[in-house]
Amino acid sequence: MPRYFTEEHEWIEVDGDTATIGITDYAQEQLGDIVFVEVPAAGTALAKGKEAAVVESVKAASDVFAPVSGTVIEGNAALEDDPALVNTAPEAGGWFFRLTIADPGELEGLMDQAKYKDFVAGL
């Protein structure tokens, strides 16, 4: 499954017309210990680049943005009980939500893994 990245440090893994979204390992390192996560409810319509979820750490609260437009299929309920999953498995079990992609063309312009690695190295 292809995986893409945003300049706001979200990752999106695409499987057909659905996608799983979370924050990158770099993002969770910058945030520190995650203490609370609010994910969107199923059925929520999200627009590319708009706020989709909230993550709070001991350092700060941050918004998580939708890398593409779509309708939420599922929020990761496991994060309610164990928000630290974002620290321990940010690009696996610590995912935030899944959605149905409204416009696959919105994936254009997102970074692949190599470009994201170069982007982070330049920060």
Domains (ranges, CATH) in the chain? 3-102 (2.40.50.100)
Task: Tell me how far apart the alpha carbons of residues 114 and 88 are, in angstroms, rounded to a whole number.
Answer: 22
Query: What is the pLDDT of the chain when averaged over all its residues?
Result: 97
Task: Tell me how far apart the alpha carbons of residues 33 and 59 are, in angstroms, rounded to a whole number.
Answer: 8
Q: What is the pLDDT of residues 26-81, one digit of tens each?
A: 999 999 999 999 999 999 999 999 999 999 999 999 999 999 999 999 999 999 99
pTM: 0.96
Task: Tell me how far apart the alpha carbons of residues 40 and 52 are, in angstroms, rounded to a whole number.
Answer: 6
Q: What is the DSSP string of 24-74?
A: -HHHHHHH-SEEEEE-PPTT-EE-TTSEEEEEEESS-EEEEE-SS-EEEEE
